Structures are given as C-alpha cells and as structure tokens.
Amino acid sequence: MAREATITQEAVNAAADRIRAAGGKPTARAVREELGQGSMATVLRLLQHWQAGQGRAPDARDVDHRA
C-alpha cells in the first residue's frame, strides 16, 4: 500500500518559485532541499507538473521580424 505524500503541489510550487526568484534553477534536488522533506520521486512528479504550467519564453526564432 502506498504511503500518503507528505508534501503538496502548493509547497513544491512555492519552493520552485522561491528558487527561481533567487536566480537558481528549480531542480528536484534543489526543491527537496528547500522543503527539507519529501521523496525525490514525489518532488520530481510535482515539480514536473509545476514546470508544465510555466510555459516558455519566446526566443529569437519565434519572433516575426517582418513587421
């Protein structure tokens, strides 16, 4: 029987946002360190969900220079 997660999506989101705001890269290891708890598998799963909601910034190839 699987154990119930001790961390939440909201906690991972907040930790990843803090890491990014401080200029760091929100990796699963960095988020787990920030939280001080949670299994790597759970942190990774929740972090991937956070990353999916971040979108991506357009780069130079995405800009239409014809305008």
Single pTM value for the model: 0.76
Distance CA(12)–CA(6), nearest Å, equals: 11
Give me the sign of the Cα torsion angle 57, 14, 44, 21: positive
**Tens digits of residue pLDDT in 7-18:** 999 999 999 999
Going by the DSSP 8-state scheme, the letter that residue 3 receives in this structure is: P
pLDDT of amino acid 65: 47
- CA gap 61, 38 in Å, rounded: 39
Both structure tokens of 10: 């909201």
